[in-house]
Structure formats: C-alpha cells, structure tokens
Amino acid sequence: MSRLRFSALAALVLLATPVAAQPRSLGPQTGSLRIEQISVAFIGQGELGGGTLTYAGRSYPITIGGLGIGGIGASRLVASGRVYGLKRRADLAGAYVQLREGWAVGSRGEGRIWLRNNKGVTISLDARRQGLQLTLGADGVLIGFK
C-alpha cells in the first residue's frame, strides 16, 4: 500500500509542478469556459458533456468528450475557469491533452483540470464533482462547437 501512495504522490508532483507555474507564463486571460460532464472510470476514464465559451463578449455552446487513464468511480462534474491564448474563436475547437486531479464523495468533491491544444490555447478549470470517484491522470479530449 505504501508503494501505491508513493506512486500517487510522485505522479501528483510531476503533474502539478509545471501546472503551478502556468498562470504566470500564459499571458492575459482571453476568455472563460464553463462545462458540465459525466465521468466514468475504472483505470481507463471516459467523459462526455457540454458547456459554454465566453469570448469577445459573446457566448458559444460547446461539446466536450474524452478518453484517458487514471481513475476509478463515477461523477458529475461542473467546472469553470480561464482560457488563455485564444486568438480566434475557432482555435478553441479540436484535440487537447488534459491533466486532471480530483475526488468526489456524495455531493462533495473538487478538482483541477488543465487542457492544452496545438494552437496554443490553454484552459485552466476549477471543478466541483458529485458522485464517488478518485481521479489523477491524463486524457485526450475533443472540444467542438454545437
């Protein structure tokens, strides 16, 4: 059990270290994002949902879904946060690498999500979770416009 704890702690440090420095190096916030999704995990993880991008004073509905590794359980997630590096609305759509950590027990839960695409867009979200889930891992995520 101690080997598992050490591995989880090491993974968290490796994921959190570069992310902790991000807000200072990403430049100004260019938009905001709010998402709602369902997440189910048993070693592998799947997520599906939607949300709203607020950019240049307008709101745009989006879809979001992904597959990855690192988690167990199921939860409903509501997350909101900041978008950086968005030069055109269309640059939000596409494939992202996502790093995530979080937990949920009943109606209590929280976490952080960081996403980055090949167009230089980075998203940092604070998440509230409901369900029974423990998550720490990486995913491939697709974001599109409705």
Q: Which neighbouring-strand residues pair with 114?
A: 99, 124
Which residue, among 57, 59, 68, 54, has the nearest Cα to 115 in the 3D structure?
A: 68
Average pLDDT of the residues in 8-26: 48
pTM greater than 0.75 (yes/no): yes
Tokens of 34: 């709010």
DSSP state, residue 114: E
pLDDT at residue 101 in the model: 86
pLDDT tens per residue, range 39-68: 999 888 899 999 999 999 999 999 999 999
Whether residue 145 has pLDDT greater than 50: yes
Task: Tell me the average pLDDT across 105-126.
Answer: 93
Give pLDDT tens digits for 65-115.
999 998 899 999 999 999 999 999 999 999 999 888 888 898 888 999 999
Radius of gyration of the chain (CA): 15
Chain-centre distance for alpha carbon 94: 14
